[in-house]
Structure 1
Amino acid sequence: MTIAEPKRPDLARELIARAQASTAHRAKRVRNQLDAVQLGQSRHADHANTKFLRRILAEHDWPGLRLVGTAGARAAWRIALHSDDDLCFQRAATRLLERAVQADDAFLHHWAHLHDRTLINSGREQEFGTQFFLRSDGIELCPLRAPESLDERRASVGLVPIAVALDAVRRRCAPDHRSEDVAATCGLADAA
C-alpha cells in the first residue's frame, strides 16, 4: 500500500499529539506514578480524545491512511483502543475501521486489536490474543476463544505467533524498561 501525502495533515498532527500524550500518561499509570489528580486528568484526556475522534468519524468516516497518513491512522487507532469507557463508540469505531481495511485504507492488524479490545470490553472472549492483563505476578492473556487455533487466526491478520508476542510484552513490561510505549503493551494492551 503506497501512501501519498495525507489529505488532512492538520487532523493527523492533532491525532498524533493526543495519542502521544495519552501514551505518556498511560505509561505512568501502569507504573503507579500518577497521583489522584493526575489519574483524573489522564481519564479526562481519554474522554476528550474519544470525543475528538467521534467528531472525526462523523465528518470523515474512519481517519484512514489517505486522510491522515500512516502515523495519523495509527494515532486514531490508539485513541479508539483507549476509549474503553464508551463501548458503543468503540464498537462503531471497530466497524468503521473494518470498512477502511476493506477499502485498503487501514491496516488489518489494527482492526484485529480493536476488535479484540471491544470483545473484552463487552465481556466476551477475544479472537486474536492481542489483549493482556498486567498482574502483580506478570502478564496474563485476556480470555480467549478457541486457543488451539489462535496462531492460525493471528497469522490471518498479520500478527506474529502468540509465544513471540507474549515474550515481547513481558520484556516491554519489565520493571527496568524505560520506554513510554510500555502503556501500549501492558494492562489491557494493544500490542501483540
Structure 2
Amino acid sequence: MMTAQPQQPDLARELIARAQTSATHRAQRVRNQLDAVQLGQSRHADHANTKVLRRILAEHDWPGHRLVGPVAARAAWSIALHSDDEPDFQRAATTLLQRAVHAGDALIQHWAHLHDRALITSGHEQEYGTQLLLRADGIELCPLRAPESLDERRGSVGLPPIAVALNTVRRRYTSVPHVESTLADALPEAA
C-alpha cells in the first residue's frame, strides 16, 4: 500500500474530521454521557456522514490509501461501519472496500469488520467475530456463524484469536459504567 501524499488532501481532511467527531460522540454514548438532545445530534451526524460518504463513493469509488491516505481511509471505513441505519449502503460500501483490498489500496481487517457489521445489521450471523455487545453482565459476541472455525477465519484476515481480542476489549472497558451498547460503536478495532 502506498503511503505517499494523498491525491485528495481536502477530501482526506473532511473524512478525518467527520470520523473524529463521530468517534467522540460514540465514546460518550458508551459511557452514557449524552443527554437526549446530544444523542439525537450524534445520530444526525452519523446520518450526515453516511450521506457524504455515499457521495464520495459515487465520485471516487472507495477512498483508499492512494486517494486519501491511510488515516482518512480508516476514517471512511469508520463512517461506513456506523451507517447502520442504511444497511443497503453498508453492504455496497463493503463491496467497494473489498475491491480496494484486492487492489492493495485498503486493509483487509477493515473489510472484515465492515463485512461483519453489514451482516449483523442485515440480521445475519457475522463471520469474523468483530461485532460485540457490552451488557451489564459483560461482553458477548453478536451472533456468529460456525464458531468452531472462528480463529481460522480471523487468522485469514490478519485478526488475532478471539480470546486475545476479547481480553483486550475487557481490559479497555472494565472502568466504563456498563450500558448496553454495541462495542464496535466505540472501539471497532478492538475485536
> Identity percentage over the alignment?
73
Equivalents in 1 of 2:131, 2:167: separation in Å?
14
Return the alpha-carbon distance in structure 2 between the equivalents of residues 127 and 164 of structure 1.
Answer: 17
Q: TM-score, normalised on structure 1?
A: 0.93
Q: Using the TM superposition, give the Cα deviation of residue 190 of structure 1 relative to its aligned residue in structure 2, in angstroms.
A: 2.1
Q: Tell me which residue corresponds to 1:154.
A: 154
- Say yes or no: does 1:17 pair with 2:37: no
**The residue matched to 2:188 in structure 1 has which SS?**
coil
Task: Identify if the C-alpha distance between structure 1 residues 125 and 51 changes in structure 2 by more than 3 Å, giving closer, same or farther.
Answer: same
Instruction: Tell me which residue corresponds to 2:136.
Output: 136
Amino acid at match of 2:188: D
1:111 counterpart residue number? 111
Which aligned segments of 4 or more residues in structure 1 are displaced greater than 6 angstroms? none
CA shift at 1:187, angstroms? Answer: 5.3
Within 5 Å, which residues of 2 pair with 1:13-52?
13-52=13-52
TM-score (norm 2): 0.94
Deviations 1:132-178 (A, max 9, x none): 0110111111110011110000000000000000011111122259x
Q: What CA distance in whole angstroms lies between the structure 2 residues aligned with 1:114 and 1:188?
A: 14
Match of 2:57 in 1: 57
Q: Aligned partners of 1:13, 1:34: CA distance in 2, in Å?
A: 26
**Aligned partner of 1:136: which letter?**
A
Superposition deviation, residue 75 in structure 1: 0.2
User: Residue 175 of structure 1: SS of its match in structure 2?
Assistant: coil
Call closer, same or farther: CA 1:91–1:56 in 2, change over 3 Å: same
Report the equivalent of 1:190: 188
Structure 2 letter corresponding to 1:34: L
Counterpart secondary structure, 1:52:
helix
CA distance in structure 2 between the aligned counterparts of 1:43 and 1:163, rounded to whole angstroms:
32
The aligned amino acid for 2:112 is A
CA distance in 2, matches of 1:186, 1:101: 21
- Number of paired residues? 187
1:126–1:142 Cα contact (<8 Å) kept: yes
User: What CA RMSD, in Å, does the superposition of the two structures yield over aligned residues?
Assistant: 1.7
Change (3 A) 1:125 1:148: same
Q: Which 5+ residue runs of structure 2 have no aligned equivalent? A: none
